[in-house]
Amino acid sequence: MIEVVRAGIYTTIQDLGRFGYRNQGVPTSGAMDQYSSQMANQIVGNDPNTAVIEFVLKGPHLYFHNASVVALSGANCIAELNGKRIKINQQIFVPAKSKLVIKSIKSGMYGYLAVNGGLQVDRVLGSYSLYPNITKQSKLNKGDCIGFTTKSLSDTNLNSSISYNENKISCNVLKVEKGAEFNQLNTMAINQLFNTQFTPATSSNRMAYTLEHNIKSLNAHEITSGNVQTGTVQLTPSGKVIVLMRDAQTTGGYARVLQLTPMAINQLSQKRPGEKVTFELLKKG
């Protein structure tokens, strides 16, 4: 069992998302950076869709009542096990009655903790991902206890590691496809969209990343409410650029001008306010 001693800024449980319910208004949710969450699971021998603990900027303090093997991935964080520094992207043996402290994050936004065998949490509408009003709680709090299923530790290779491609996540060029209302834009607006360096606003979160630097001279209008998905890039009539993320609504009334690729969603999720990103249209064929 894992006990939450300190919860961190916003710590949740996530898998790869909740599918098949968007027509009922239920967001997909899931890990913000799914490349990293899957890497963490792979390191400890879990299925890619196994639930992980997701934390942002400042992680939780966790007490392990039972022994386990874990892995940290995603944001480059400072972490200690019983007061000793541990590395990310490799298996870590956690003895029983141990304290794992995830301190500040040096780079990136979202980090992931995978536990060998998987977390024992409730599955709601086909997913373990926490989301307000869908699951009993929206985030982890101090005092919460999480069970886990442990595979035979003797079967776990403690030297196991993977080649985590940090460059893949740190890339500042976001690949996109044209959105449903892309053709509403005039040439000047299109040029601005692909030649502007954007930075996430401080208000960016699991629902949406607002990108600072408005687009001018556009023809984007509000539309009759249309379907949106994770990675949809909306453009408001005032020129504000909004990228919908994992917990976003299922419909929206702003022009859908671009759609991020799955990897671009992961990349954007790890960008901090002040860090620059640009859009690049995915070449067909």
Per-residue pLDDT for 182 more than 60?
yes
pLDDT in tens, 140-176: 999 999 999 887 655 555 545 567 777 778 899 999 9
The whole-number average pLDDT for the span 99-120 is: 96
Residue of 30, 28, 35 whose CA lies nearest to 15: 30
pLDDT in tens, 235-280: 998 899 999 999 999 999 899 999 999 999 999 999 999 999 999 9
At the topology level, CATH places domain 171-281 in Cyclophilin (2.40.100)
Per-residue pLDDT for 8 more than 90?
yes
For the whole model, what pTM was predicted? Answer: 0.93
Average pLDDT, the chain: 92
Q: Give me the helix-helix angle, 262-269 and 34-43, nearest 10°.
A: 90
Beta strand 208-212 pairing with 199-200: antiparallel
Helix extents (H) in 196-257: none
Cβ 175 vs Cβ 261: under 8 Å: yes
- For 13-39, the DSSP string reads EE-S---S-GGGT------SSHHHHHH
Neighbours of 86 (CB within 10 A): 19
Instruction: Map out the domains of the chain as residue ranges.
Output: 2-167, 171-281
Compute the chain's Rg from CA coordinates: 20
pLDDT of residue 166: 74
pLDDT of residue 5: 98
Residue of 277, 258, 282 whose CA lies nearest to 267: 277
Torsion angle in degrees (nearest 10) through CA of 86, 90, 91, 97? 20
The whole-number average pLDDT for the span 197-225 is: 85
